[in-house]
Structure 1
Amino acid sequence: MKEFEEKLKKYIRENKIAAEHLAFTQSCHSVSEAALACGATPEDFVKNICMIDEENNLIVAIVKGEDRASRTKVGKALGINMPKVANEDEILKYTGYPCGGVPSFGYKASFVIDPRVMEKEIVYTGGGSTHSLVRIKSSDLKKANGGAVISIRK
């Protein structure tokens, strides 16, 4: 798992992203586990829901930790048919990161950010592994992935 964390830290450095990488001994796979690990609340987290369109392109729907992404809304927002949710193997193949550690930037995808994410000044996202997180301003997250801010939550 360390190689994934190192890859992300290198990407953050090389692209001069204002973000802090945090590593833990306990799991951060779920929002509740991550909140316990870093002493934050579940409302401080974002989830990166990986989806694949009909042409096998990766779409990442970024929603607050307590929210769910609507595949229908994502499809409408991008003007495509409803995408399918990626499985663990597809997530690793398309993002280069394991499920539960996927960051909100650092790989080729169409990023769609729910407006509620932007309401928080600081958010936590995947840090490359199930034992790490990235602490970042929501505005810097948007800048890092070039995502569109569109309502996509259920």
Structure 2
Amino acid sequence: MSTSDTNAPTGPDSAAAHPRFAEALRRLGLDVEIRRFPEATRTAAEAAAAVGCELSEIVKSLVFEADGVPVLVLMDGSSRVDMELVRRELRATKVRRPGADVVREATGYAIGGVPPFGHRTRTRVLADRGLLAHEVVWAAAGTPYTVFPLNPRTLIEHAGGTMVDVREQAT
């Protein structure tokens, strides 16, 4: 990627991460490259285009409510979450997508910048096995403009994730 490219990162600077996420990295002893982009990377497609990777190498950190309790689902960027599989996995009566206020309250981050760990509150985390298909995945670093790379097993471990199969199957 050339530095004249309009999607070029402004630099690998851990200070570019959201302060709460930067603190989580420090506490976990993780030294990762935070890449900040001038254009938003709110969606998996935007992030993949900015990074220059496959869509499936992006980690979506999605908040759901299972019987009113927030739960985080980590899913690769090219797949959709099957809410029925999440419901069964959690043995919940109802699973739904909450509003932006619930996401921010539970995680401390806005939709489009939610990282896989470093949240305001401890939530249950489900990680789809599809993430393990890659040596490195990219996830949000707490803002809609920042991402970081990490081995998926390490990412899931630090997120406290339980490995599951909750990917929507093509019909």
Q: What percentage of aligned pairs have identical amino acids? A: 21
**Amino acid of the residue matched to residue 61 of structure 2?**
N
**Amino acid of the residue matched to residue 109 of structure 2?**
Y
1:46 matched to which residue of 2?
A: 59
TM-score (norm 2): 0.82
CA separation in 2, counterparts of 1:22 and 1:16?
A: 18
Cα deviation 1:78-128 (Å, max 9, x = unaligned): 222231112111111110001000011122111101111112111011111
1:33 matched to which residue of 2?
A: 46
Match of 1:148 among 150, 159, 162: 162
CA separation in 2, counterparts of 1:98 and 1:105?
A: 14
Q: Please show how residues 50-69 of structure 1 align to structure 2 within 5 Å.
A: 50-54=63-67, 56-69=68-81
User: Residues 140, 44 of structure 1: CA spacing in aligned structure 2 closer, same or farther, 3 A cutoff?
Assistant: same
1:99 matched to which residue of 2?
A: 111
User: Residues 57, 18 of structure 1: CA spacing in aligned structure 2 closer, same or farther, 3 A cutoff?
Assistant: farther
Unaligned stretches of 5+ in structure 1? Answer: none
In the alignment, structure 1 residue 114 sits paired with structure 2 residue 128: yes
- Report how far residue 4 of structure 1 moved: 6.6
SS of 1:20's equivalent in the other structure is coil
Check conservation: 1:18, 1:140, Cα contact below 8 A: no
CA separation in 1, counterparts of 2:73 and 2:89?
A: 11
Check conservation: 2:24, 2:117, Cα contact below 8 A: no
CA separation in 2, counterparts of 1:150 and 1:62?
A: 10
CA separation in 2, counterparts of 1:17 and 1:77?
A: 30
CA separation in 1, counterparts of 2:107 and 2:132?
A: 23
CA separation in 2, counterparts of 1:40 and 1:3?
A: 21
Measured on the aligned residues, the alpha-carbon RMSD in Å equals: 1.7
TM-score (norm 1): 0.91
2:86 matched to which residue of 1?
A: 74
CA separation in 2, counterparts of 1:90 and 1:3?
A: 25
Where relative contact order (Cα < 8 A, 6+ residues apart) is larger, the structure is 1
**Amino acid of the residue matched to residue 129 of structure 1?**
T
Aligned length: 152
In the alignment, structure 1 residue 83 sits paired with structure 2 residue 112: no
Unaligned stretches of 5+ in structure 2? Answer: 1-14
SS of 2:34's equivalent in the other structure is strand
**Amino acid of the residue matched to residue 81 of structure 2?**
A
